[in-house]
Amino acid sequence: MVWTGIPALAAQAAAVSGVPAAIPSPTTGVWHLGPIPIRAYALCILAGIVVAVWLTDRRLVARGARRGVALDISAWAVPFGIVGGRLYHLITTPQPYFGAGGRPMDAFAIWNGGLGIWGAVALGALGAWIGCRRHGVSFLHFVDAAAPGVLIAQAMGRFGNYFNNEIYGRPTDLPWALKVYEWDTSLGQAVRDAAGQPVVKGFFHPTFLYEALWVLVLAAVLLVLDRRRNLRPGQLFAAYVMGYPVGRIVVENMRSDSANLILGQRVNTWVSILVFLLGVWLWRRFGRGPRQEAEESPASHVAS
């Protein structure tokens, strides 16, 4: 009864003030420490990486690996993932960079946003495979240990989109609508009117928040699944590959930003479907592996 009254109270307060109830967005996404720009987007990405490496290391140590090996492997996985994420974005959204009136040099400006998760996971996995080979760790054990932390990092990265006033959905008047400002990407701040006030673009579904909540729920599910089920190596990672696209498809079709389409659907929707099917195949493929391998230490053999 208390819960049902909260939206009503928010609506009444909005009616009295004349301002829609909404989640406020930041008006600044970059601060300057002397000549050095400190960008919120980069901070969110870096914080997510730190948390993911820390959690992965704890999970690997619990399985018998040496402490710090996750950091060693991440030294390969993270750069590969960043490059892969950017390449995916450039391939699927080339117009702002290479289309009519595009700015090719902005292809390197990753601080303005634009890291595709599918490219990040694909090349990041390649980097992790190389790191595992060099440090004598089973690749399947590593990706199983990393999957929950990667999801948490994704959630934290979405708050970088929040600071950049991007990745929002269609207009809405719901109490949790996101108040979005017209944004100057070159300055990393909201456009201001003659009076110095930030210009409001509108009120939209906070799809960045929906996705962040979804991946946090999925991370919790994977942690529980890992504790309660005797999975074969690689299956937890396969569950990640299956699970994330389910929420992404829903969120993707709520977004209002421009995107390239195939047969009337956003490119990321089609990619999400393909990745889900890949996850199903991986789950079944790894499920046929020898269960006794799950009892070995992650460092008991080099990934092949």
> Where do the structural domains in the chain lie, given as residue ranges?
20-167+209-287
Task: Report the pLDDT value the prediction gives residue 259, as an integer from 0 to 100.
Answer: 84
Task: Report the pLDDT value the prediction gives residue 289, as an integer from 0 to 100.
Answer: 66
Q: Cβ of 2: how many Cβ atoms within 10 Å?
A: 5
Distance (Å, rounded) from C-alpha 131 to C-alpha 135?
6
* Residues counted in the chain: 304
Spatial contact of 236 and 60, defined as CB atoms under 8 Å apart: no
Distance (Å, rounded) from C-alpha 105 to C-alpha 261?
25
Q: Is the backbone of residue 277 left (phi > 0), alpha (psi -120 to 50) or beta?
A: alpha
Average pLDDT per block of 10 residues along the chain, 304 residues long: 45 46 93 93 96 98 95 97 94 88 86 85 97 97 98 96 94 95 93 96 97 98 93 96 96 89 90 97 88 52 43
Burial class (CB within 10 angstroms; exposed 0-12, middle 13-18, buried 19+) of 76? buried
